[in-house]
């Protein structure tokens, strides 16, 4: 068990390194000089050279990579070219917003998808089949389309929720952390929490619905499989109601395979924050990433890609560990 | 004569799929309180169909063409779901055939053993646990606390079957259906399990319908026997009568074909073709009569 | 739902007929494929279908609502955008970009991914490990971010959008093809071919590929839907073709900006996008079901 985990960690580190190399190389074959975008007109060649040296863009690519890698390992991600701020600091300041969004979306997706799967299993074949068909159609809708549909429905047609930003400018923002929702809930400032939550509703739904559709389909199949097993038949003979059969007997056996298949989908959800945050002008790392690319902000792009890569790898690791933990056989075996 | 606990009355069933192929042909049997009744027959004779009918769990592919299944006077085939559930959880239970698949791999033994006690007998967690420990002791499990905390995959096949037996008797049912409970076990373990079931049954005064294809098992545990062939009752009576004074040629042939531990030198004889001819003739008569009335 | 096919009326022609029958029997193929054909027709006959020139601006007629709403102008059934351009015409012409990207990018991604998947699945060993590691690294990137990055590198324009999509989504094909190839490589007919002395590339192409083809074809249809979405996202961010050329994503971007007083500029292309993706999705699902038993020997 321990060796397997260690192997995974080594492989993950190698993958992360690969990600860093790929993005590093890609960025340096970019046409479009970030320095050229920064300099004031009339700057002397010495100024340009000095600026280039300051951002470390005057040495060879392998040397640049080595310098950057050393920096990263000691916690220095460089300075953002477009925002003139420390990259690590920028990431830290915008990450909490994205995390709150992603985790809220995960919770919504699990609850919604789970409910649909359970209800679909308890229903008869006909209504269950109709539910399946509807779910199948909705599976095709990506977060991009959901986001825009929500803009039209809940932002314009029946304006229930704010369309942009994270918090209303008129609301007090003396926060200590950047976890606005958590902090306002923890400190009991419910009016503030409500405002933050209202701003989160649409982006969260846009991110959650595709994942919910996947969970609903996969979990329902797994539940169907479990309900055919002998132990469910025996439980039925013990006089258990259908609801109890699904919730108490079948569900725990269906969660494992569902988790395995939906773990990867959560990384897609995270990737989706890039465009969803943009649509709702939500100040997270996704939104920042688009601007970074448009501005050719090399250090910031590198930092962001590394951050996303790290999150993806950690999520995959966590899912694999959870699947192993859930299966009593694997745990003892 | 008190009313029987279970009375299957001329149960006739056909397959809904293969064009009405008969599955049960007017099968009848009665089980008295505290009686162990063997339901014997080769594969496909209809034993498990009768068992499923008693449990009210006939699959949708089986259509009942006639007869009743009376448990304490109530027809299990016509009960609605809530009434059926009420009886199943408290008065009837099942000892399933395969201990590998009959236990939920994701729930501990304690939970699975105390289901009925907590749901139907309303016992608290602590009281149910105490009762579960007693039951495990009754089925001769040596370290009951460890078993309660274990998951099914941690136990051997024999231990799992003992747990299933304990679970079946836990709610003190009036009737237990034992569906070939020793088929999936080693021969060495079979005898112990049979003794166990008999012991539990005697202690709790439970009626048992023991489904099996093995006449040897019948000899060890059953009070009365019903022998099925292709859904039709060929012979029924006390075990002693059936084994020592068989009336039907098929019964005699089966006995001759089974290894007898008390007569090791008697050779095994296959069932003669003439016996099957006779059986088929009887079945044809039944089918013809059914076609006329049905 | 495909019928078992008896080779009565002769090899290839008979197989084609059986194939056609199997495809048409699957409702998803008919509905999805039908809509895709409809889109192709719209794209091809755009100049005849579109009522106006999609680039023609008329600031006097800016932001007019669609038919049925107060202030609508006849001749502009879906209204106009902020520069007075006809939404319907732009929608029709936008189909061209969408479908071009869809077909070309999906095919390229399928080609690249299938080749690598076949190699990884059949050769195994070091080749498989290397390709596997490559797939892992690729999948550690958020797809949208990677596509934006690539287009930024390659410069905006349709060619970069297509290349970007192909370069990102090949992993989808690679994984599936690799799994299928590994399963097929163990089968008897492959062992037989090896024993007879067929060269390895020939085995891959002639023996394994036809059995992997149904999965690939279904996946290509799915990928086309994805490609349309990615193009729309890239247009939305302003990185696709020039802003004058009508694209659904570009219209969506503008519509998002003026959503409070020009919601139709967002709604029309969004609906088209949704319908197109749904159609490709259904087609892919139906193809997978219909092709499976027919094409396997």
pLDDT digits (tens, 9 = 90+) for A15-39: 888 888 888 888 877 666 666 666 6
Terminus-to-terminus CA distance in chain C, angstroms?
16
Span B220-255, pLDDT tens digits: 899 999 999 999 999 999 999 988 888 888 888 888
Shortest CA gap A259–chain B (Å): 15
Residues in chain B within 8 Å Cβ distance of A237:
55, 57, 88, 92-94
Shortest CA gap C190–chain A (Å): 31
CA torsion angle for A248, A249, A252, A258 (degrees, to 10)? -120
Asked if B88 reaches chain A (Cβ–Cβ under 8 Å), the answer is yes
Q: Which helix (H) or strand (E) holds A138?
A: helix A125-139
CB contact under 8 A, A31 and C153: yes
Residue to substitute from C27, C140, C229, interface A, most A β-carbons within 10 A: C140
Tabulate helix, strand, coil % of chain C (nearest 5). Answer: 75, 0, 25
Q: What is the mean pLDDT of residues C180-206?
A: 78
Residue by residue, DSSP assigns B129-182 as HHHHHHHHHHTT-S-HHHHHHS-GGGS-HHHHHHHHHHHHHHT--SEEEEESTT
CA distance C154 to A204: 32
Asked if C157 reaches chain A (Cβ–Cβ under 8 Å), the answer is no
Residue by residue, DSSP assigns B173-236 as -SEEEEESTTTTS-HHHHHHHHHHHHHHHHHHT-EEEEEES-HHHHHHH-SEEEEEETTEEEEE
Question: What domains are there in chain A, each with its CATH number?
Answer: 93-292 (1.10.3720.10)
- For A237, which of B55, B119, B154 is closest by C-beta distance? B55
> Do chains C and B touch, with touching meaning 3 or more CB–CB pairs less than 8 Å apart?
no
- Smallest CA-to-CA distance from A309 within A16, A31, A63, A67 is with A16
* Residue A173 vs residue A153, higher pLDDT: A153
Q: What is the mean pLDDT of residues A123-147?
A: 87
How many CB pairs lie under 8 A apart between chains A and C?
125
Pick from A38-42, A83-87, A282-286: least confident: A38-42
CA A57 to chain centre: 31
- For C137, which of A15, A27, A144 is closest by C-beta distance? A15
Residue to substitute from A238, A249, A251, interface B, most B β-carbons within 10 A: A238
Asked if C176 reaches chain A (Cβ–Cβ under 8 Å), the answer is no
Terminus-to-terminus CA distance in chain B, angstroms?
33
Contacts of A207 (CB under 8 A, 6+ apart): A101, A102, A105, A109, A143, A269, A272, A273, A276
Q: Could you tell me the fold of the domain covering B6-91+173-240?
A: Rossmann fold (3.40.50)
Q: Searching chain B, which residue's CA lies closest to the CA of residue A254?
A: B106
Instruction: Give the pLDDT confidence score for residue A32 in this predicted structure.
Output: 60
CB contact under 8 A, C133 and A313: no
- For A328, which of B96, B105, B119 is closest by C-beta distance? B105
Residues 212-241 of C with CB under 8 A from A: 225-226, 229, 232-233, 236-239
Q: Would the pLDDT of A139 be above 70? A: yes
3-state secondary structure of A105: helix
Span A263-313, pLDDT tens digits: 889 999 999 999 999 999 999 999 999 999 888 888 899 899 999 999 998
Question: In percent, how much of chain C has pLDDT > 70?
Answer: 95
Terminus-to-terminus CA distance in chain A, angstroms?
9
Instruction: Give the pLDDT confidence score for residue A37 in this predicted structure.
Output: 60
CB atoms within 10 A of CB C1: 10
How many CB pairs lie under 8 A apart between chains A and B?
67
Q: Does domain C93-291 have CATH number 3.40.50.720?
A: no
Shortest CA gap C233–chain A (Å): 8
Asked if C144 reaches chain A (Cβ–Cβ under 8 Å), the answer is yes
Residues in chain C within 8 Å Cβ distance of A137:
278
Rg (CA), chain A: 24
CA distance A111 to C246: 40
CB contact under 8 A, C144 and A272: yes
Q: How far is CA C234 from CA C143, C230, C240, C247, in A?
A: 12, 6, 5, 10
**Cα atoms in the Cβ-side hemisphere of radius 13 Å centred on A102:** 23
Q: Searching chain B, which residue's CA lies closest to the CA of residue A248?
A: B107
Q: How far is CA C226 from CA A150, B211, B276, C106, in A?
A: 20, 58, 66, 9
Q: Would the pLDDT of C9 be above 60? A: no
Q: How far is CA C14 from CA A85, A265, C7, C18, in A?
A: 69, 42, 7, 6
Rank A96-100, B59-63, C172-176, C209-213 by mean pLDDT and report only the highest.
A96-100
- Smallest CA-to-CA distance from C87 within C276, C236, C266 is with C266
Shortest CA gap A124–chain B (Å): 14
HEC assignment per residue over C210-246: HHHHHHHHHHHHHHHHHHHHHHHHHHHHCCCCCCCCC
Say if CB B120 and CB B200 are below 8 A apart.
Answer: no
Which parts of chain B have pLDDT scores under 70? 1, 260-266, 294
- For C237, which of A151, A278, A296 is closest by C-beta distance? A278
Instruction: Give the pLDDT confidence score for residue B1 in this predicted structure.
Output: 53
Q: Would the pLDDT of A45 be above 90? A: no
CA distance B160 to B152: 7
Residue to substitute from B106, B118, B150, interface A, most A β-carbons within 10 A: B106
CA distance A65 to A71: 10
CB atoms within 10 A of CB B49: 21
Q: How confident is the model at residue C19 (pLDDT cuts 50, 70, 90)?
A: confident
Say if CB B237 and CB B59 are below 8 A apart.
Answer: no
Question: Angle at the Cα of A122 (from A119 to A127), degrees rounded to 5?
Answer: 75
Say if CB A19 and CB C140 are below 8 A apart.
Answer: yes
> Do chains A and B touch, with touching meaning 3 or more CB–CB pairs less than 8 Å apart?
yes
CB contact under 8 A, A237 and B88: yes
Phi then psi for residue B180, to 5 deg, are 45, 55
- For C140, which of A137, A139, A313 is closest by C-beta distance? A313
Say if CB A289 and CB A304 are below 8 A apart.
Answer: yes
Instruction: Give the pLDDT confidence score for residue A34 in this predicted structure.
Output: 64
CA distance A11 to A16: 9
Chains that touch B (3 or more CB pairs under 8 A): A
Chains that touch A (3 or more CB pairs under 8 A): B, C
CA distance C170 to B126: 58
Domain chopping of chain B, boundaries: 6-91+173-240, 95-172
Cβ-based burial of A266 (10 A; exposed 0-12, middle 13-18, buried ≥19): buried
The set of long-range contacts for C33-40, using a CB threshold of 8 Å and a minimum separation of 24, is C33/C279, C33/C283, C33/C286, C35/C275, C35/C276, C35/C279, C36/C276, C36/C279, C36/C280, C36/C283, C39/C95, C39/C98, C39/C99, C39/C276, C39/C279, C40/C99
Q: Would the pLDDT of A332 be above 50? A: no
Q: Are strands B6-15 and B22-31 parallel, antiparallel or unpaired?
A: antiparallel
* Residue A203 vs residue C296, higher pLDDT: A203
CA distance C2 to A174: 65
Shortest CA gap B176–chain A (Å): 11
Cβ-based burial of C162 (10 A; exposed 0-12, middle 13-18, buried ≥19): buried
Shortest CA gap B9–chain A (Å): 22
Span C21-56, pLDDT tens digits: 878 888 889 999 999 999 999 999 999 988 888 888
CA distance A173 to A244: 47
CB contact under 8 A, C233 and A275: yes
Q: How confident is the model at residue C100 (pLDDT cuts 50, 70, 90)?
A: very high
Shortest CA gap A153–chain B (Å): 43
Q: Searching chain C, which residue's CA lies closest to the CA of residue A29?
A: C153
Q: How confident is the model at residue C93 (pLDDT cuts 50, 70, 90)?
A: very high
- Between A298-326 and C143-154, two packed helices, what is the crossing angle to 10 degrees? 150
DSSP category for residue C156: S
- Smallest CA-to-CA distance from B30 within B59, B89, B72, B63 is with B72
CA distance B212 to B199: 18
E-assigned strands of B248-290? none
Say if CB B113 and CB B166 are below 8 A apart.
Answer: yes
Shortest CA gap A184–chain C (Å): 30
CB atoms within 10 A of CB C37: 12
Scored b (16 or more CB within 10 A) or e, C130-142 reads ebeebbbbbbbbb
Phi then psi for residue B39, to 5 deg, are -115, 105
Asked if A252 reaches chain B (Cβ–Cβ under 8 Å), the answer is yes
Q: What is the mean pLDDT of residues C88-101?
A: 93
Residues 125-154 of B with CB under 8 A from A: 151, 153-154
Instruction: Give the pLDDT confidence score for residue C210 in this predicted structure.
Output: 80
What are residue C54's DSSP bridge partners?
Answer: none
């Amino acid at each position: 068990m321990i060796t397997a985990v260690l192997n995974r960690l080594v492989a993950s580190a190698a993958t992360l390194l690969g990600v860093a190399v790929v993005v590093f190389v890609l960025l340096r074959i970019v046409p479009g000089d970030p320095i050229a975008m920064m300099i004031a007109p009339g700057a002397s060649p010495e100024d340009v050279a000095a600026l280039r040296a300051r951002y470390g863009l005057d040495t060879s690519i392998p040397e640049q990579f080595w310098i950057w890698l050393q920096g990263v390992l000691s916690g220095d991600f460089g300075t953002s070219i477009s925002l003139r701020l420390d990259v690590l600091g920028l990431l830290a300041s915008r990450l909490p917003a994205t995390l709150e969004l992603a985790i809220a979306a995960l919770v919504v997706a699990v609850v919604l998808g789970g409910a649909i799967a359970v209800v679909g299993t308890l229903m008869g074949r006909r209504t269950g089949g109709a539910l399946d068909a509807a779910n199948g159609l909705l599976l095709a809708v990506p977060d991009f389309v959901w986001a825009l549909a929500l803009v039209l429905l809940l932002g314009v047609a029946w304006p229930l929720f704010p369309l942009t930003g994270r918090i209303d400018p008129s609301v007090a923002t003396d926060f200590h952390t950047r976890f606005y929702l958590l902090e306002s809930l923890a400190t009991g400032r419910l009016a503030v929490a409500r405002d933050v939550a209202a701003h989160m509703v649409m982006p969260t739904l846009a991110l959650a619905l595709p994942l919910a559709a996947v969970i609903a389909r996969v979990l329902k199949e797994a539940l169907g499989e479990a309900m055919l097993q002998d132990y469910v038949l025996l439980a039925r003979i013990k006089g258990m109601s259908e609801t109890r059969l699904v919730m108490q007997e079948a569900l725990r056996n269906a969660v494992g395979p569902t988790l395995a298949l939906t773990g990867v989908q959560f990384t897609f959800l995270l990737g989706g924050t890039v465009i969803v945050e943009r649509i709702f002008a939500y100040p997270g790392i996704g939104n920042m990433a688009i601007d970074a690319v448009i501005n050719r902000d090399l250090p910031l792009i590198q930092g962001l890609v590394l951050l996303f890569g790290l999150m993806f790898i950690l999520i995959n690791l966590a899912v694999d560990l959870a699947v192993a933990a859930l299966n009593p056989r694997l745990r003892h075996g | 004569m008190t009313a029987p606990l279970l009375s299957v009355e001329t149960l006739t069933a056909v397959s809904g799929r293969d064009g009405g192929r008969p599955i049960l042909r007017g099968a009848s049997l009665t089980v008295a309180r505290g009686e162990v009744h063997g339901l014997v027959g080769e594969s496909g004779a209809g034993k498990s169909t009768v068992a499923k009918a008693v449990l009210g769990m006939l699959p949708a592919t089986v259509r009942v063409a006639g007869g009743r299944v009376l448990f304490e006077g109530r027809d299990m085939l016509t009960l609605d779901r809530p009434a059926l559930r009420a009886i199943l959880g408290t008065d009837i239970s099942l000892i399933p055939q395969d201990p590998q698949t009959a236990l939920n791999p994701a729930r501990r033994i304690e939970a699975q053993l105390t289901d009925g006690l907590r749901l139907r007998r309303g016992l608290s967690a602590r009281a149910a646990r105490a009762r579960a420990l007693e039951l495990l002791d009754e089925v001769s499990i040596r370290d009951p606390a460890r078993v309660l905390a274990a998951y099914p995959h941690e136990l051997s096949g024999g231990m799992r079957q003992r747990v299933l037996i304990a679970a079946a008797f836990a709610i003190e049912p009036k009737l237990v259906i034992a569906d070939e409970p020793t088929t999936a076990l080693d021969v060495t373990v079979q005898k112990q399990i049979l003794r166990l079931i008999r012991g539990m049954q005697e202690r709790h005064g439970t009626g048992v319908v023991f489904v099996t294809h093995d006449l040897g098992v019948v000899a060890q545990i059953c009070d009365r026997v019903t022998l099925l062939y292709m859904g039709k009752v060929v012979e029924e009576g006390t075990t002693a009568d059936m084994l020592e004074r068989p009336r039907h040629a098929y019964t005699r042939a089966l006995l001759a074909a089974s290894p007898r531990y008390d007569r090791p030198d008697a050779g095994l004889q296959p069932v003669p073709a003439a016996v099957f001819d006779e059986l088929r003739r009887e079945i044809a008569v039944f089918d013809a009569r059914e076609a006329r009335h049905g | 739902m495909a019928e078992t096919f008896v080779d009565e009326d002769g090899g290839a022609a008979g197989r084609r007929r059986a194939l056609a029958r199997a495809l048409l029997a699957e409702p998803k193929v008919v509905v999805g494929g039908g809509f895709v054909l409809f889109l192709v027709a719209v794209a091809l006959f755009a100049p005849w279908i579109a009522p106006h020139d999609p680039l023609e601006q008329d600031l006097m007629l800016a932001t007019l609502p669609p038919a049925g709403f107060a202030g609508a102008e006849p001749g502009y059934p879906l209204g106009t955008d902020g520069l007075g351009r006809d939404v319907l015409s732009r929608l029709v012409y936008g189909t061209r970009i969408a479908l071009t990207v869809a077909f070309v990018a999906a095919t390229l991604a399928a080609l690249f991914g299938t080749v690598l998947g076949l190699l990884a699945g059949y050769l195994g060993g070091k080749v498989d490990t290397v390709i596997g590691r490559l797939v892992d690294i690729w999948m550690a990137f958020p797809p949208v971010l990677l596509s934006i990055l690539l287009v930024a590198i390659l410069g905006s324009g349709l060619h970069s959008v297509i290349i970007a999509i192909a370069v990102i989504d090949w992993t989808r094909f690679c994984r599936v093809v690799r799994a299928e190839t590994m399963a097929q490589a163990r089968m008897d007919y492959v062992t037989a071919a090896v024993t007879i002395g067929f060269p390895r590339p020939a085995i891959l192409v002639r023996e394994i590929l036809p059995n992997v083809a149904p999965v690939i074809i279904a996946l290509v249809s799915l990928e086309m839907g994805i490609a349309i979405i990615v193009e729309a996202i890239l247009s939305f961010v302003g990185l696709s073709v020039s802003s004058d050329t009508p694209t659904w994503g570009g219209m969506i971007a503008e519509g998002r900006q003026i959503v409070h007083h020009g919601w139709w500029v967002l709604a029309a292309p969004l609906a088209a996008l949704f319908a197109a993706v749904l159609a490709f999705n259904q087609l892919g699902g139906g193809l997978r079901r219909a092709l499976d038993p027919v094409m396997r020997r």
